[in-house]
Structure 1
Amino acid sequence: MQKNIISTDQAPQAIGTYSQAVHVTGGSTVYLSGQIPLIPETMEMVEGDISAQIHQVFKNLSAVCKASGGNLNDIVKLNIFLTELNNFAIVNEIMSQYFDQPYPARAAVGINELPKFSRVEMDGVMVIKEGGYHF
């Protein structure tokens, strides 16, 4: 098994022992690491309310998807982690701006804390189409 590491400067650089995304040679699945609302150029948290954080997370995920040869609509499984589950309706509203139907399978999990005091984090699994990124 050979892992192809996907990295882009259009999304925040890894702040730990992980890669932005990994593709295994011979398959079409890309595993996307969790993204929090860091601004790639400054590695600082986006300012603003939970909506601003959610938008930034989708922008970051989108950049990693693009670097992988796909886009957000190629995500087949999305995991959302929220420090306040009462923000779930806001996630749904904003998600509809980034995804077309059919929507991916999804989980939303309420947790106590996220890195850098983020209020939201998302990761996912993407399937790239034939002729997508060439590793």
Structure 2
Amino acid sequence: MSSSITTILTKKSYPPIGHYSQAFRANGHIWVSGQIAADADGNLLKRSMSEQAHQICKNTSKILQAAGSSLEKTVKVTVFATDFSKLPEFNSVYNTYFPQKPPRSAAEVSRLPLDVEVMMEVVALVDPGDEAKL
């Protein structure tokens, strides 16, 4: 495996809003920055928690695909929410994207970037053969 770090940036998900990358790929892993419910142009989707969850999972999937991975190869998820009473609605969508049930942490926080309600970050694997092709 390579020990170099590759920055991942895809136009299929919204661009970073600050001084960070969408993701890094290194040593067979992908670290995806916290994803929010925004479209590829950076427009926030201030809709139901279900719709936000769909957009977050789609953004995450697109970044992982650009990095040579997928949601199925996710090994750790962290969810941040400003209101845990809405987490069951988030989970109803999340569960359809992650049927393998990767390890997950969740935290209720007082505020998130751009005042969104929920944000999710993941760590996923890249198969050594797939990483060599990238």
| TM surpasses 0.5 | yes
User: Paired residue for 2:19?
Assistant: 17
Larger % of strand: which?
Answer: 1
User: Paired residue for 2:74?
Assistant: 75
User: Paired residue for 2:105?
Assistant: 107
Alignment size in residue pairs: 131
How far the C-alpha of 1:93 sits from its partner, in A, is 1.1
Native 8 Å contact 2:23 2:31 kept in 1: yes
Native 8 Å contact 2:37 2:45 kept in 1: yes
Which aligned runs of 4 or more in structure 1 are off by greater than 3 angstroms? none
Deviates most, 12-21 or 42-51: 42-51
Structure 2 length normalisation: TM-score? 0.91
Determine helix, strand or coil for the equivalent of 1:60: helix
Q: Which whole-Å CA distance do the structure 1 matches of 2:130 and 2:51 have between them?
A: 30
How far the C-alpha of 1:49 sits from its partner, in A, is 1.3
Determine helix, strand or coil for the equivalent of 2:129: coil
Q: Which whole-Å CA distance do the structure 2 matches of 1:74 and 1:2 have between them?
A: 20
Q: Which whole-Å CA distance do the structure 2 matches of 1:100 and 1:110 have between them?
A: 23
Determine helix, strand or coil for the equivalent of 1:46: coil
Larger % of helix: which?
Answer: 2
Unaligned runs of 5+ in 1: none
Q: Which whole-Å CA distance do the structure 1 matches of 2:46 and 2:90 have between them?
A: 17
User: Paired residue for 2:44?
Assistant: 45
Determine helix, strand or coil for the equivalent of 2:89: helix
Task: For residues 17-40 of structure 1, give each alpha carbon's deviation from its aligned partner in whole angstroms, at most 9, with x where no partner exists.
Answer: 11111012xx21111111111111
